[in-house]
Amino acid sequence: MKKLQIYMLIIVLATVFLVACEEPEETEQVYTGDELLDKMEGFWVFAGYKEGSDEYAKLQGIAYGIDSRGMDIYSNFELQNKDMQIDIKKGNTIVYYEGSERKEADVSFDTRDGYELMVLESVDGTTLYEKMRMSEYYLYEGFAENKSASYDASTYLSYELTDKDLEWYLEDTYWNEFYYIYPDGTTETMNSFMMVMYSSDRTGIMDYIDETINVTWEVYDQRLYLTYEDGETYYFPIDYEYDSETKYAYLYLYDTEEGYEGCAWVLWNYVGD
> Tens digit of pLDDT for each residue in 166-213?
888 888 888 888 899 999 889 998 876 678 888 888 888 888 777 888
**Mean pLDDT, range 256-262, rounded to an integer:** 90
> Coil, strand or helix: which one is 88?
strand
Quote the strand ranges of 2-77, DSSP E: 42-49, 52-53, 63-67, 70-75
Half-sphere exposure of 169 (CA within 13 A, CB side): 27
Q: How many CB atoms lie within 10 A of CB 204?
A: 20
Is the pLDDT at 233 greater than 70, yes or no? Answer: yes
pTM above 0.75, yes or no: no
Residue 31's φ and ψ, nearest 5 degrees, are -105, 155
**Distance (Å) of CA 234 to CA 36, 44, 210:** 43, 32, 22
End-to-end CA distance of the chain: 80
Half-sphere exposure of 106 (CA within 13 A, CB side): 9
CA distance 262 to 29: 52
Instruction: Work out whether strand 174-181 and strand 187-189 pair parallel, antiparallel, or are unpaired.
Output: antiparallel
DSSP string, 127-192: EEEEE--HHHHHHHHHHHHHTT----S-B-TTS---HHHHHHHHTT-EEEEEEEE-TTS-EEE--T
Half-sphere exposure of 150 (CA within 13 A, CB side): 2
CA distance 229 to 246: 37
Tell me the per-residue pLDDT of 40-74, one tens digit each, with 9 for 90 and over: 999 999 988 887 776 778 888 999 999 988 999 99
Q: Which of 13-27, 70-84, 185-199 has the lowest mean pLDDT?
A: 13-27
Quote the strand ranges of 10-58, DSSP E: 42-49, 52-53
